[in-house]
Amino acid sequence: MSKPLSDHDRKKQISVRGLAGVENVTELKQSFNRHLHFTLVKDRNVATKRDYYFALANTVREHLIGRWIRTQQYYYEKDPKRVYYISLEFYMGRTLQNTMVNLALENACDEAMYQLGLDMEELEDMEEDAGLGNGGLGRLAGKNHRTIHKSYIQSVETNDRNSPFLFVFSPFPACFLDSMASLGLAAYGYGIRYEFGIFNQKIVNGWQVEEADDWLRFGNPWEKARPEYMRPVHFYGRTEHHPDGVKWVDTQVVLALPYDTPVPGYRNNVVNTMRLWSAKAPCEFNLKDFNVGGYIQAVLDRNLAENISRVLYPNDNFFEGKELRLKQEYFVVSATLQDIIRRFKVSKFGSREIARTDFSKLPDKVAIQLNDTHPAMAIPELMRVLVDEEKLSWEKAWDVCVRTCAYTNHTVLPEALERWPVDLFAHLLPRHLEIVYEINRRHLEVSDFPGDSDRLRRMSLIEESGQKRINMAHLCIVGSHAVNGVAQIHSDILKATIFKDFYEMEPHKFQNKTNGITPRRWLVMCNPGLAEVIAERIGEDFIRDLDQLQTLRNYLNDEGFIRDIAKVKQENKLKFAVHLEEHYKVKINPNSMFDIQVKRIHEYKRQLLNCLHIITYYNRIKKEPNKHWTPRTVMIGGKAAPGYHTAKMIIRLITAIGEVINNDPVVGDRLKVIFLENYRVTLAERAIPAADLSEQISTAGTEASGTGNMKFMLNGALTIGTMDGANVEMAEEAGEDNFFIFGMRVDDVDALEKKGYHAQEYYNRLPELKQAIDQIAGGFFSPKQPELFKEIVNMLMHHDRFKVFADYEDYIKCQEKVNELYKNPKEWTKMVINNIAGCGKFSSDRTITQYAREIWGVEPTLEKLPAHVSNSWPRDKVRPFVASNLALRKK
């Protein structure tokens, strides 16, 4: 196997026309050595690879700081409308390489490190993934995994920092932050600085084992603590009603300490801010208690308050209200709103700074985007601030609140929506419960359906059946001026099903904003070879305007272009094959089809359908070993929630299938099965450029959108998938003839649900399906534990809500078409080109532009800011500064 090009060699080939900037290599080397000596206090004799990474990170960070300060100066001077994107998850991945790409530093840094005798790839690998999310939002939960992992809960409540258990959701705000900066929007991302990120997954004897991801143990060179902006957050207490208003008293206080991370735009000198809050206990101890031991206990009790930002609550797709989770949600919302209002009140009039007090202007200067229902507390908290603290009337405050807030939904099924028990609300946030009750009363009074008690009950914010609960999605809809889904099919389902009543009452609120991905990280950075091949044909402006990829269709019959696209794919496959051999100790055939399914392990994503195809293909090879079979390397990766038993059993089944197939000499390298351990952003950046086939096979109507499907498409993988989520629009853009579409549509699923789904009928009718199920049930893949997978078989036969068997036959036939096309490399590559050419719609730049114009009321710009920083002191600051220093010198 020939050795693939390294990233260093590949970047050397990248055009100097703009894909890589020109920087002074000597200056970078000097800065690197300065940071190694004076920041890290090391020299080359004792420095480690991690030290070299930190020196390089600080060197690159220097090029950010001036732009970062200048951007904030510009926002202060121009006072634009600001966008605040609140999310409990930001799955940022690594920062170094992305920053070098956006600042046009990658070639210069490569060369500087090369001249210093250091390997850039090795240094990049020293960076920890900022895994503050998991890569998808919650969907429907199966009945058998509603219990959160008890060990995790106990570990948090007892302050066991070594607990390995964590499972979180993460949508796509990382891509959105990149696009906001690249489009010149005055935007901020707000979230929580979790001490422990998404767990590290280990596969031990075929089983998932969770290990803590202590991603901050070596420090984070990209963040800057801002203690001067620390904010108090209140919990518990009681309310007092007075003639002049309501007071929330006798509360417990937790301090929110902000940490800022710069988010650079693509070569426009704009650097925005992601602010993450860390919980700190207030330093209020009574020293007289020291002698009786109270002081020591008080110090120890600080940890209980700081648990709020210790780790994200491990929700495994079925909402289960817990106090810690609600604390986290209110914590980030309260701190963020205090920050927003502080910034709003500071206005500039000419050269003077004045205090802005007219809150009716808040929607003209502030847009708050609620990413799912997790930050829904922003609505009652903003009302509390405006009514109780700023003394606005309820009517004026509500008008301001609705015009300021907007809500993005990420789930199509009601089981996954947040519903907080009223009792918990009353205990933790008593004033906010009063506000929610008042919002609900007024909402039902102005309803267009006064006599329709059933409809009013469905639309109420308070669910009365059983334990009283607050429906947070309803709160978001009522308290926002815009509600959007994240793919057209998802948005249509929302309007037709779970939010139908609200849509009929206020249709103007409902919109669609199909997800997108940033081409900077998911093409230029992770696949520089492909980016260069494209740039050679159509120039480099496509990086800012992905719609320009459409012009690649002009090269569909260009033999040179077809050859170059195929060559880049093969180089990526060779490189990934080397990685797999080094890290997984598996040698694979790089000429085989790389068939990849990487996403959270969940029943609705139907990794089990993939398993049934693998087993069927294996049985066919065994039956006719002398036939020419299209070689495949099937790779499946993803993490299972610690408390999600069925998902963990699915992982065990995948690894068991691999153990049998990979060691069968009859099969050889015609079929391999690999489970990609610890799937995360960094591994995705390696796997996705190498993929030939992308598996997007969820049951139609269950996936809100997906973004992994877009990343595969942009990097030259063909998709086999159902008409679900964004797959529908992807097929439209690429042309359905360039997609491997199979299975039921949403209407078919609904019809089958009404008719009744009976797995036994498919089992009896399809011999190959029966054989595969019998092999799983009979212990063929678990000979030492024949009963190991009985639960999975029982679920598939009797309790499968996602109807795997119903799509099996069509899926197998579609896979046969995939095999046939793969035998014709030229036609395969032409289909790849059609897919890449259809990716323009799926840029997060397009998504954010639509949010900006249609929801936030701001206009994107491609204007490039000056890179220099103004160092002049404002005149009104100079005299007090000089006077105070003279006074100090006299003392």
**Catalytic residues, which ones?**
410, 599-600, 605, 707, 711
Burial of 135 (0-12, 13-18, 19+ CB in 10 A): buried
Give 819-823 contacts, CB < 8 A, sequence gap 24+. 819/593, 819/629, 819/630, 820/630, 822/593, 822/630, 822/692, 823/630
433 — phi, psi (to 5°)? -65, -40
796: β partners? none
Terminal-residue alpha carbon distance, the chain: 76
Q: Name the pairing type of β-strands 483-485 and 405-408.
A: parallel
The structure tokens listed for 293 are 């031991």
Residue closest to 673 by CA, chosen among 745, 752, 781: 781
The secondary structure of 8-44 as a DSSP string is HHHHHHS-TTTTS----HHHHHHHHHHIIIIIS---T
In three-state secondary structure terms, 205 is coil
What are the residues whose beta carbons fall under 8 Å from the beta carbon of 9, sequence distance 6 or more?
none
Torsion of CA 618, 623, 624, 630, to 10 degrees: -10
Nearest to 330 by CA among 338, 318, 342: 338
Nearest to 344, CA basis, from 557, 81, 581 = 81
**What are the DSSP calls for 708-726, one per residue?**
HHHHHHHTT-EEEE-S-TT
Residue 675 and residue 637 in contact, taking contact as beta carbons nearer than 8 Å: yes
- Indicate the helix (H) or strand (E) that contains 865: none
3-state secondary structure 44-78: CCCCCHHHHHHHHHHHHHHHHHHHHHHHHHHHHHH
Torsion over CA: 490, 491, 492, 494 (sign): positive
Phi first, then psi, for residue 677 (nearest 5°) are: -65, 140
Residues 6+ apart with CB under 8 A from 162: 155, 212
Closest CA to 533 of 549, 514, 516, 515: 549
Report which residue type is found at 686. Answer: R
Are the C-beta atoms of 768 and 616 separated by less than 8 Å?
A: yes
With CA atoms as reference, report the closest residue to 330 among 402, 254, 273. Answer: 254
Instruction: Report how far residue 22's alpha carbon sits from residue 347's, in angstroms, rounded to the nearest whole number.
Output: 39
Instruction: Decide: residue 737, CB within 10 A, 0-12 exposed, 13-18 middle, 19+ buried.
Output: exposed
794 sits in which H/E element: helix 790-798
Query: For helices 790-798 and 645-661, what crossing angle results, to 10°?
Result: 110
User: Tell me, what amino acid is at 563?
Assistant: R
Burial code (b: 16+ CB inside 10 Å, e: under 16) for 254-271 equals: bbbbbbbbbbbbbbbbbb
Name the nearest CA neighbour of 368 among 511, 184, 189, 510. 189
Tell me the three state secondary structure of residue 249. strand
The enclosing H or E element of 824 equals none
d(CA 779, CA 785): 7
CA 760 to centroid of chain Cα atoms: 38
